[in-house]
Amino acid sequence: MNTKTLVEKKNGFKLKGFTNNDIGDDHLYTGLETPMKPSAFKLSDSEKKQRIALLFEEIMDVMGLDLTDDSLRGTPERVAKMYIDEIFSGLNPSNKPKIALFDNKYQYNQMLVEKNITFYSNCEHHFVPIIGKAHVAYISSGKVIGLSKLNRIVHYYAKRPQVQERLTNQIAEDLKHILGTEDIAVIIDAKHLCVSSRGIKDESSATVTSFYGGVFNTTAKIAELQNYLRD
* pLDDT tens string 154-205: 999 999 999 999 999 999 999 999 999 999 999 999 999 988 788 787 788 8
Predicted local confidence at residue 117, as pLDDT? 98
Lowest mean pLDDT segment, chosen from 24-33, 96-105, 201-210: 24-33
* Intra-chain end-to-end CA distance of the chain, in Å: 43
Cα atoms in the Cβ-side hemisphere of radius 13 Å centred on 61: 8
Residue 138 falls in which region: left (phi positive, over 0), alpha (psi -120 to 50) or beta: beta
Least-confidence region, from 14-18, 82-86, 151-155, 189-193: 14-18
Domains delineated in the chain:
3-94 (1.10.286.10), 95-229 (3.30.1130.10)
What size, in residues, is the chain? 231
- Give dist(CA 167, CA 33) in Å, integer: 9
Q: What is the pLDDT of residues 101-135, one digit of tens each?
A: 999 999 999 999 999 999 999 999 999 999 999 99
pLDDT at 202: 75
Residue 13 has pLDDT above 70, yes or no: no
Residues annotated as catalytic are 123-126, 164, 192, 194
pLDDT score at 11: 37
Q: Are 171 and 186 in contact (CB under 8 A)?
A: yes
* CA 189 remoteness from chain centre: 13
pLDDT value of position 199: 79
Measured distance CA(121)–CA(128) in Å, rounded: 8
Q: Is a pLDDT exceeding 50 seen at residue 9? A: no
Average of pLDDT values for 34-48?
Answer: 96
Residue 36 has pLDDT above 90, yes or no: yes
pLDDT at residue 30 in the model: 61
Tens digit of each residue's pLDDT (9 = 90 or more) over 126-152: 999 999 999 999 999 999 999 999 999
**Sign of the four-CA dihedral 16, 21, 26, 28:** positive
User: In 3D, which of 126, 132, 124 has the Cα closest to residue 194?
Assistant: 126
